[in-house]
Structure 1
Amino acid sequence: MRIIIQRVSEASVTIAGEKISEIKQGLLLFVGIENGDTEEDLLYLTHKTVNLRIFDDEKGIMNRSILDIGGEALVVSQFTLHAATKKGNRPSYIHAAKPEISQPMYNRFCETLERLLHREVKTGRFGADMKVALVNDGPVTIWIDSKNKE
């Protein structure tokens, strides 16, 4: 499982011209589910997300988590995080889990994140053609792969 975390001052998802979700200060999370991902991967990434200290404290040092600042979260499914680009110029998505596997895991990711944050998590719409708008604060963008814990 892979996630891209972006610290944002605002973010939103629009589908067919209708804004379906929006947040103010917090995290925009792009989540990609891979074949073979487990509940352990999901728990690792949700706990890492809520405890990651990437918000400034009173001294301007990244020392606070989304929990510490009471920030919001917007989660968007993104199978393209598992693009294989080694051969040719057309990415292959052979490692991305099929919707019958990835959608329930995406839903569990959002539910677990909600439980850990003690607040509603906003989402995109799984499988939809979404337009994602954001103001990246910093900019701060972090990539985490549950199979490559660096």
Structure 2
Amino acid sequence: MKFLIQKVSSAQVYVDQKIIGKINNGLCIFVGYSLTDTSDDIEYLVDKLLKMRIFPDESKKKYFEKSIQEIDGKILLISQFTLYADNKKGRRPSFSLAAKADNAKKLYQSTVNLLKSKNISVETGRFQAMMEVKIVNVGPTTILIDSEKKN
């Protein structure tokens, strides 16, 4: 499981030119699931995410001091199977390492539910829809965390 985390001042996701999710001051997270991901991977990455100090303190002098919970930030969570693209062969990426859609959808919903159970305000995209995501990345700050690297 991978989280591609971007610190944002604003983010919106559109389907059919209509906003279906938007946040201010928080994180836009693209999440990808692999064939082998389980609830343990979700718990590991959510725990890592919630403890990650990625926001500045009140004085703005220390840039990586506060967590998403400490600033009462919001999350826009977007499912993105292309995080598991493999381009070792040929010119077209392979997605054979990505979880199948039915399992990925269950994992995605479990991720949303776990974040909400931790009192995080979560907006979402629409699973398997063609989406447009607009973000204003602050920093810019973009961090990739991967549950395969937990051991």
TM-score range, shorter chain: over 0.9
The equivalent of 1:84 in structure 2 is: 86
The equivalent of 2:124 in structure 1 is: 123
SS of match in other structure, 1:66: coil
Deviation of residue 120 (structure 1)?
3.0
Using the size of structure 1 for normalisation, the TM-score is: 0.96
The alignment covers a number of residue pairs equal to 149
The equivalent of 2:67 in structure 1 is: 65
Deviation of residue 4 (structure 1)?
0.1
Instruction: Quote the Cα distance in structure 1 between the aligned partners of 2:12 and 2:128.
Output: 16
Q: Does 1:55 align with 2:55?
A: yes
Name which of 105, 109, 112 aligns with 2:114: 112
Deviation of residue 60 (structure 1)?
3.1
Instruction: Quote the Cα distance in structure 1 between the aligned partners of 2:82 and 2:94.
Output: 9
Identity of aligned residues (%): 44
Deviation of residue 3 (structure 1)?
1.0
Q: Does 1:2 align with 2:2?
A: yes
Give the 4+ runs in structure 1 shifted more than 3 A: none
Instruction: Quote the Cα distance in structure 2 between the aligned partners of 1:111 and 1:103.
Output: 12
**For the aligned residues, what is the CA RMSD?**
1.1
Instruction: Quote the Cα distance in structure 2 between the aligned partners of 1:28 and 1:87.
Output: 31
Instruction: Quote the Cα distance in structure 2 between the aligned partners of 1:86 and 1:148.
Output: 21
1:11-63 Cα deviation digits (max 9, x unpaired): 00001110111000000010001001011110011111111101011223311
Instruction: Quote the Cα distance in structure 2 between the aligned partners of 1:102 and 1:130.
Output: 17
Unaligned runs of 5+ in 1: none
Unaligned runs of 5+ in 2: none
Instruction: Quote the Cα distance in structure 1 between the aligned partners of 2:49 and 2:80.
Output: 17
Instruction: Quote the Cα distance in structure 1 between the aligned partners of 2:120 and 2:131.
Output: 23
- Amino acid in the other structure paired with 1:51: K
The equivalent of 1:103 in structure 2 is: 105
The equivalent of 1:32 in structure 2 is: 32
1:97-122 Cα deviation digits (max 9, x unpaired): 11110001000001101112x14310
SS of match in other structure, 1:129: coil
Using the size of structure 2 for normalisation, the TM-score is: 0.95
